[in-house]
Amino acid sequence: MQDNYFVLKEFSSYLNNVLKGARIIECFSQEKNKLVIRFIKDERDLFLEYSSNNDFPYLVLRNKYTKARKNVAEIFKKLNGLIVSGAGLINDDRLVCLSFNNYHSLIFSFIKSKLNALITYEEKIIETFKDNKSFTDKNINEIFLAKDTSGKQVMTVRDYIRQKFSIFGKLIQNEVLNNLGINNNDKITELLKSGIDNEFIKIKNELDIPEYIIYNQNEQRYLSLVILKSLDTTAGKEIFENINELLSSYIFNRIRSGDITGIKNSKLKNIGSEIVNLEKKINNLEIHQQDAFNSYKNNLDIGNLILANLDKIKKGDNEFKASIDGQTETVKLDFSLAPSENAQKYFSKYKKQKSSLDLLGNKIDRLKLKLAALKKEEKEIMNLEDAKEIRKLDKSLKKMSNETETSRFRKFVLSKDFEVWVGRDSKSNDLLTMKYSSQNDLWFHIRGTSGSHTVLKTGNKNELLDKKTIETAASICAYYSKARNAGTVPVAYCLRKYVKKMKGFNEGSVIMEKEKVIFVKPKLPDNEPGIK
């Protein structure tokens, strides 16, 4: 509903009042599909945020916005310093336009297939937010041509409303249907056309003096600029002073709701994968159990059969034919054993398989208990609505994710204060150095040859570091290098904050600054007492 024509029209009028005379300071993006423009007016900062996300496009004006320290792209630099001369819709379409005092314009498109922010100069597109070569150097009117639906055949109420009143959006369209007591699939008549026209005219008049309402019903929020009879008596209602406050509330709750849904879905996806894997494992074990049971019973039966026919078998026989359930079966014998010894051999197999069956049964029972617990957890999460509890889920997911990633490192506990973490390959080296080490950890690398990145985790307790701890960490570093079998070798080390990864460097490649060098023998701590 935020990309509804009338909402955008009201919001562009609001922007015209608030931003006229404002100067652009900067334009930047720090999230995918999100553009932020910072203005200054009357010595006050204002931030216009645009989302071109297909699922939820929006435009909202904020008084505050936290700009990240890194991973920020400065864009649309040619707009910096320009002053807004006005705002409005162009081409009577869902195109919000900021005009400037030098023939430039910034256009925010809310047309589904063409969500983008565009800079134009004298109506010619010169730069886009989303890379789209088909836009560049085109006239704005070439890109956003009005659709001609006048030639389409009109058979139903839906056809008629789509042809004449599509800009009102589904919420208003449903309100008209509700007010008239008709359905989309009803056959259109001249009488119905007249009634539909009158209802939309009434709503159009109400939109000239808008309300700013959010209806809450069945955990859904509906944004409206008019009172909706279909919701007014049954839904909760929030009323706002202006269009920007309305949009701010609606967008904040939509994003928050989306985050919470995403957390639940992520957890459910993990549990779902575990359930599928467990079910496969249990099924395979049960097949194995059945095969083992058949073999186990068969060995018992053969042993008893041999004992029952001792007078018919002699040492040196390599097989024995017997009638079992009316069929002749051939029993394999060890010719070097006496008949009773052959029977004991089958009984011995039987006993071993009985033990194996017991182990299989216990394992299957444990897995079934785990499966039942997972299904119970899955059901609880599906029914979970409390935001605080869902946030706890998010923390547990992040912890699990971190634990999974850090399991790729070798870890040594030197004492209650210090641990040494070692990468296993170029990818985990990068991960350890750039993500899982603190600025004041000590970073080690073998001098003169290749080896693993090694980090002495200090927990900012550098004042407790002694020479022996540093030597131990350096020895571990040397051990996980190509100099493992050498005698005494040089190992360079420095604070992690002096390790830099330059743009274009290969995976695992870095440079050191302010390093020191220590000579040590490559070795692990005695008996590796603290490895985990």
Q: Total domain count for the chain?
A: 4
Any domain includes 391: no
Minimal CA–CA distance to 158: which of 184, 194, 182? Answer: 184
Binning pLDDT at 50, 70 and 90, where does residue 495 land? very high
- Residue 455 half-sphere exposure toward CB, CA atoms < 13 A: 30
Q: What pLDDT is recorded for position 526? A: 72
438/469 same-domain check: yes
pLDDT at 385 over 80: no
Q: Which helix (H) or strand (E) holds 163?
A: helix 157-165
Question: Which residues make beta-bridge pairs with 220?
Answer: 217
pLDDT in tens, 460-488: 776 678 899 999 999 999 999 999 999 99
Q: What count of residues does the chain have?
A: 532
Asked which of 109, 143, 177 is the last residue of a domain, the reply is 143
* pLDDT for the residue numbered 326: 67
Find the domain containing 433 and state its range: 408-520
> What pLDDT, on the 0 to 100 scale, is given for residue 1?
54
Supply the pLDDT for residue 529.
Answer: 42
Q: Is 305 contained in some domain?
A: yes
Count of beta carbons in the 10 Å neighbourhood of residue 513: 10
Beta bridge partners of 88: 97
Say whether both 419 and 469 belong to one domain: yes
Cα Rg for the chain, rounded, in angstroms?
Answer: 37
Mean pLDDT calculated for residue range 333-354: 80
Clarify whether residues 213 and 306 are in a common domain: no
Please state the φ and ψ torsions of residue 109, each to the nearest 5 degrees: -90, 135
Domain-embedded: residue 254? no
What is each CA distance from 441 to 419, 455, 477, 495, 499, in whole angstroms? 10, 7, 14, 6, 11
Residues 14 and 128 in one domain: yes
Specify the amino acid at residue 4: N
Q: 10 and 116 share a domain?
A: yes
Q: Global pTM?
A: 0.54
- pLDDT confidence band for 118 (50 / 70 / 90): very high
**139/10 same-domain check:** yes
Query: In this predicted model, what pLDDT tens digit does every residue of 236-253 receive, in sequence order?
Result: 889 999 999 999 988 887
Residue 401 lies in a domain: no
What CATH number should be reported for the domain holding residue 318?
1.10.287.370
Estimate to the nearest angstrom the gap between the alpha carbon of 325 and the chain centroid: 61
β-pairing, 34-41 vs 23-31, is antiparallel
* Co-location of 308 and 286 in the same domain: yes
The reply to whether 396 falls in a domain is no
User: Over the chain, what is the mean pLDDT?
Assistant: 85
- The CATH number covering residue 127 comes to 2.30.310.10
State the DSSP code for 35: E
DSSP 45: E
Residue 95: CA count within 13 A, CB half-sphere = 22
Percent of the chain beyond pLDDT 70? 89
Q: Based on the fold, state whether residues 98 and 22 are members of the same structural domain.
A: yes
Distance CA 95, CA 482 (A): 62
Same domain, 294 and 353: yes
pLDDT at 198 over 50: yes
How many whole angstroms from its chain centre is CA 14?
35
The whole-angstrom distance between residue 396's C-alpha and the CA centroid of its chain comes to: 15
pLDDT of residue 522 exceeding 70: yes
Is residue 55 a part of any domain in this protein? yes
Choice among 97-111, 162-176, 358-372, 384-398 with the minimum mean pLDDT: 384-398
pLDDT, position 324: 66
Same domain, 363 and 269: yes
What is the pLDDT averaged over residues 296-323?
77
